[in-house]
Every structure is written in C-alpha cells, then in structure tokens.
A and B are shown apart, each in its own frame.
Chain A
Amino acid sequence: MLPDQGHLQRSTLSDSYDVPCPRAADFPFDTSPVGLSPAVDIFSSGANVALNRWPSIECHRVDAGLAVWTVPSWKPGWSKVHTVGLAFPEAIEFLPPEEEKSDDQSESVRPKKEKPEGDADAEKTRPKKTRLKPPSDALSLEDRLFYILQPPLETMLAGQELIMPFEPFPHQYEGIGWLFSQEAALLADEMGLGKTMQMITAVRLLLRGGQVRRILLVCPKPLIPNWQREFRAWAEELPVVTVEGDTARRNLIWKMPGVPILMTNYEVMVRDMEAMPEEERPKFDLVVLDEAQRIKNRDSKTAVVTRDLKRKRSWCLTGTPIENRPEELVSLFEFLKVVNARATPDLRQLSKLADQYILRRTKDIAMKDMPPRLDRDAYLELSPAQKYAYTVAEKEGVVQLNDMGDQVTVQHVFELVLRLKQITNFDPLTNESSKLDRLVADMEEIAASGGKAILFSQWTKVLDWLAVRLQQFNPLIYHGGVPNKKREPILAKFKEDPSKHIILMSYGDRKSVV
C-alpha cells in the first residue's frame, strides 16, 4: 500500500516551510487517491509444484590433497665455533702442559690472612694502574693485542723479581709504558723528572720479555759514570759494558757476544763506527741517544754516523728537543726513522709527528704532589774590605775602559764585571767574605739537623777556597777537574756518609747530581 501522495506532499511542505496545512476540501479539484499496485499473475510453466518441494541434501567425502607435516627430528644446528689465538714467548716454558698431580695436596701451604669482606673502600682508594697501550703505528691485530693483554706496569714490576729501589711516580709509570711500546720514541721530559730511570726500567722490561737482546746507549762522555750509577741503582741485575780503552780493546767489546747493554760516548761511537767496515758493524735491537740534541744538525758527522747504526728500535732522550728552531727536530726524527732521509716537513707535519713520537712532561704538570721548589734570594752587605776592594776595582776598571777609547769592546766590560763578581765572593787580599759568613751560619743549622747541601759556583778556584774554610762540615769537591774514576766515589760518599754535609760543585757538573 503506497502512502497518500497528497498528504505526503503536504506534510513535507508543512515540515519544510512551517506553514499551516490546508484541508482537502479547501482544494478546488479532486484529490482522491489512486492505487498504484500492479496486478501480478503467476505464469503457468508446469514446474510450479516443484517450487514448493524441499530440496534433498547429501554429504560426500572429497580428498582435498592437503597434509599436515611435523618436524620430529629438529636438532639445534650450531655451526662450529672458530677461535683465533695469540701465543706469548713465555708460554714456551709451559708447553707441553703438565697435569696437576694429586700429591699437590701434600704441598705445604702458607696460612692465608683473613681479609674482611667489605674492603670495597680500600679497593677504591688504590692508585690507578698503568695499562700499556698499543702504539699508534702498530697495525696488526697481534701487535695490538700483545700490548693490550700485558698486565698493568705496577703489577709487572711489583710481583716479579724486578726490584725497584723506589716507587716510581705516576708520570714515570706512564713514561715507562710509553717507551715500552714504542719503536721510535723521543722522551723529552724536563730535567729532573727521571728520564734515566724511565728508560732503564723500560729496557729492563723489554729485556725480560725477550723483545730486545742487545742495546746500545750513547751519551756525552761526562755522563757515563752517571748512567753506570743509575743502572746499578735501578737494574743491578743488568750487565752494562762501557766501550772504552784502546782501539783493540774497544773493537773486542763492540763484537763481544752476549752483552745486553753497551754504553759509549758520542765521540768514541763515531770514531769506531767510521773505522769499522760496513759489514762488520754491530747490530742492535735498540739504540738510545742520551742528550739527543747532540745530533740536531743533520749534516754533522755525529748525526750521519748515528743514523747509520744498525738497529730495530730508536729512542732519544733530551730535556731540550728544540734549542733554537723547530727544524732541529727533523734530524732527531730522521734518526727515529719516522721521516724519510732529507725530508723537510713543515710545522704542521712536525706537530703531528711530535704528538705521535714525543712525550714531554714538565715539573708543574708531572710533580703535582711534590712540594714546590722554594727560591729565596738573600741580599747581603759586602764586608768592609770587600766593599773597599769592589769600589777600587770598579773605579780603576772604569778608568781603564775610558783610556781604551774606541778600542773598548763588550769583552772588556765583561772582564770587569767578572772581576767585580769575584770580589763579591771574597776579598782576595783579606779573604773577608760576607757570603762565607752567611754560608757558615746556614750550614751550622743544616748540619745540626742532619741535612746536606749542594753549593754551585761558576769558578772552581772559589770551590777550592771554600773547601778550606768549611772543614767543619767535611766538604766534598766535584768539578770538571776531578778525574772520572774519582767522581762516582765522591757522589757515593756524599749520599751515604752522614758526616759529609756539603758538596761543592761547578755549574757544568750539575746534571751529574740531578
């Protein structure tokens, strides 16, 4: 039944426009509804009965061709693990491995100290250990692992037969570790920071590890007794042979087998190497140059001969790697074999090389824990006799300089200054000396407290003059005029004899004491 279209239309209008809806009677035309449903007749086809019958349904099994598979035989398929190995020379002693025997139980054991469980604080306060780092130019994995797997230096030194007379400072441990791993190294620590000790300990470790067997140390002649003393102090087990004596003896020493450390001075080394045929020249695992600024001039005979030394490792020691200009480093780098022969690296390249091959620490950085050096200037009045002598000398000197007119030179002025300085030490006529008076006063205090003093002077004559007047303090004299053989006993006596309170030294020999 369809809805009343007229009503629908009206109601729609009414809803849409909200106006009053008029009634049918109000319209002037007929609005009676007309049915729109069409008549439907069923077409007779003969199958009408079948349409009223229920369908018949039957089930049949059909093979779909599908199957469920299981994995009853899964096994964890781990591929074989491969290993990469690195054997150290010391391992030879441990091969073939011996089985631990059961009679180990019978071995006497020492009682273990009971330790508190909670010693974590003690662990934290322990000083940091110095681990070796592979050198930057070590490329192969084996070389790098060799250094990474070494125990900390402190452990290497403390637990073994490597007795150290003194506990090294942290910066010294660092230096030892650095030298140990470097084939080319320039240790340029400031004087007094222990370059000698660092080098000796590094050599000691290398020798013990079998990495070097034959070492040559070249140093200035006056420092040979120094090195001998330092080797005795820091590595007494190492035999050190000094190349000295006549030519035949020196030749014998150069060729002597089984000597781990040879020591010589620059002059002897140059002379002997030049005299030796190339094929007979000895080979070294390590050559160390002390005061290496001696080869700063790359064209000098010393530099040329030094560079020709047959060696695997090259180390330089110096407190002053650059004395005048940066180019001086090039000669040292050439010896270290980190630049090509006749190379002329610019400043940027030198700086890069320095980062890699130079280790330099200064006292203000390295020795933070040490008390600062106390410099105390003392102004003394000259004694009357000194003052008189000084005034007379000054006046006479000025007069003489004036008389010389145009002939006067700076040298003449220096000579006058020198003479005046000598008078400030003591008056040559009366031997009066305000410095001596003050020195005696200070020494009485030092000697009373069991201390010792070192006095430096520019003039050996002043040292002799002082020695006579300081007899109550048992003075020792050490200067260039003292024969080499007597030098070491003098220093030993100063260190060991408590009655020797003062040693008088010339400037030139101050490095020996340091």
Chain B
Amino acid sequence: MASGSKERKEQIRLGFMTAIEIGERSFVGGLLVTDRFGRPLEFQCTTPVKPNRTQELLYGPTLVPFILGELLGKALMDRVSVKPSLVMTSRVEMLELRTKVAVPIIYDEACSETDTKMAESQKAVSHEQKVRIGRQTFRTHEDFADDCSTVERISQQLSDDANMHEPLERVGDALRETMSTVTARPRVA
C-alpha cells in the first residue's frame, strides 16, 4: 500500500502553459510538463498564429480566448507525450481550453494583479472556484466545479512552499528564447 502510494506520488505531472504575443497580434504558446519537484520532463511550443483581418472582425472579443485556448492550448495538449495531471496557466483566456480537454486547467490569480480588467473580473469569482497550490492561489473554470477537489487532491502531494508561478516564467522565457532564435536564424532559400 505504501509503495503504491509512493508510486502514485512519483507519477504526478504538472503542466505549465502560457502564451506570449509577438509582433502585432501574433501569438505563440508553450507547455512545460514537470515532475512534482519542478524538474522539466517535456516542453512543447507552437508556431506563431496570427489572425487575419476577417477573423479579427468576426471573432471580436472572443478572438484571443479562441486562439489561446482552442488553437494553441489544444494543439499543445494533443502533441505533448507526457500528459499532465493538471495544467496551470498565467493567461486567463486559456481557461477555455478546459472545455476541450479532460484535464483541470487552472489560472494563476497572481497574474491578474497586473491586469486591471482581469482584477475586476476576479470580483465575480466565487470561493468555490479558488484553490491553493503551494504558495499560489488558482482559479478553475466556472463550468467545472469538480476540478477544485481534483486539484486539491493533487496539491496534497506537493510542498506547501512550492512556487507554482516560477515555472510559468520559465515557459515565457523559453518562448521568447525560441522566437528570438527562430527570427535571428537566416532564412534558407
């Protein structure tokens, strides 16, 4: 029993997903899967996605959630070999990915502090949607109430002092590094 428990502990895989905007409304997404100590297991990043003018007009305010959640997020989740037990994100728009995958997607509330618009939307978030992992508080998708208990169960196996925000910074850095390397690379005819 003890060894079984230990085995399960080792199998926790944490996903950290974010997206950055490069250039003019062009997005690139990244997903880092780590073990419970934050050591990297796999990293995936997408090619940039840039909506055209028609798409911008027709999608309106739903454009960015669609690109981040359904296009980039879904592509990343489909491609990653080491499937995460849950995914933490620093982009609230990526919460929409939850409607497409069977894994809890949770949003790091600390990331909304810099975004007034997001901070305002926080007021409407019920306590049932909030869950704490390590030092950070996350919020779940409003349509998936059961996610809180799932996430809490996973968080029991992590350190109370774990910094869950830091790996998201790593993903951002890796995306910037990737983009700078790719754009600096001379084009081969």
CA separation between A152 and B37, bound complex, in Å?
11
Q: List 8 A-B contacts (CB under 8 A).
A: A85-B44, A86-B43, A91-B41, A112-B160, A129-B166, A149-B32, A155-B38, A155-B166
Query: Contact: A81 with B38, CB < 8 Å?
Result: no
- Residues of A in contact with B (beta carbons under 8 Å apart): 74, 76, 78, 80-88, 90-91, 93-95, 97-98, 100, 104-105, 107-110, 112-113, 115, 117, 119, 123, 129, 131, 134, 141, 144-145, 148-152, 155-156, 159-160
Q: Looking at the assembled complex, report how far the CB atom of A110 sits from the nearest CB atom of chain B, in whole angstroms.
A: 6
Interface of B, helix, strand, loop or mixed by DSSP: mixed
Looking at chain B, what size class is its interface with the partner chain? Answer: 35 or more
Tell me the smallest distance from the CB of B131 to a CB of chain A, in Å. Answer: 11
Q: How far in angstroms is the closest Cβ of chain B from A2?
A: 68
Distance between Cα atoms of A156 and B166 in the complex (Å): 13
Dominant secondary structure of chain A at its interface with chain B: loop
A105 to B156, CA, bound (A): 11
Contact B155 A112 (CB under 8 A): yes
Chain B residues, Cβ within 8 Å of A100 = 85
Contact partner of A105 among B39, B135, B153, CB < 8 A? B153
Q: Which residue of A lies closest to B135 (CB)?
A: A123
* B46 pairs with A159, CB closer than 8 A: no
Would you list which residues of chain B between 6 and 62 have a CB under 8 Å from chain A?
Answer: 8, 10-11, 13, 32-35, 37-47, 49, 55, 58-59
Q: Could you tell me the distance in whole angstroms from the C-beta of A137 to the nearest C-beta in chain B?
A: 15
Q: For residues 115 through 167 of chain B, which have their beta carbon under 8 Å from a beta carbon of chain A?
A: 132, 135, 137, 153, 155-157, 159-160, 162-163, 166-167
Is the beta-carbon distance between A150 and B40 smaller than 8 angstroms? yes
In the assembled complex, the Cα of A450 lies from the Cα of B33 at a distance in Å of: 52
- Cα separation A119 to B161 with both chains bound (whole Å): 12
CB contacts (< 8 Å) of A112 on chain B: these are 132, 155-156, 160
CB pair B174 A148 closer than 8 Å? yes
In the complex, the answer to whether A76 meets B166 with C-beta atoms within 8 Å is no
Given contacts A83-B79, A97-B13, A160-B37, contact A148 B153 (CB under 8 A): no
Question: Which of B55, B81, B153, B174 lies in contact with A91, CB distance below 8 A?
Answer: B81
Residues of A within 8 A of B81 (CB): 85, 87, 91, 95, 97
Least CB distance from A98 to B in Å reads 6
| B137 proximity list for chain A (CB < 8 A) | 117
Q: Is B72 interfacial (CB 8 A cutoff)?
A: yes
Q: Are B11 and A149 in contact (CB under 8 A)?
A: no
Q: Are A148 and B173 in contact (CB under 8 A)?
A: yes
Task: Please indicate the chain A residues that have their CB under 8 angstroms from the CB of B160 in the complex.
Answer: 112-113, 115
A110 to chain B: closest residue by CB: B156
User: What 3 A-B pairs have minimum CB-CB distances, sorted nearest first?
Assistant: A109-B156, A81-B75, A91-B41
Q: Which of B86-133 contact A (CB under 8 A)?
A: 132
Are A91 and B71 in contact, with the CB atoms below 8 A? no
Residues from chain A with Cβ under 8 Å of B80 in the complex: 85
Please determine whether B155 and A91 come into contact, CB atoms closer than 8 angstroms. Answer: no
B47 x A149 contact (CB < 8 A): no
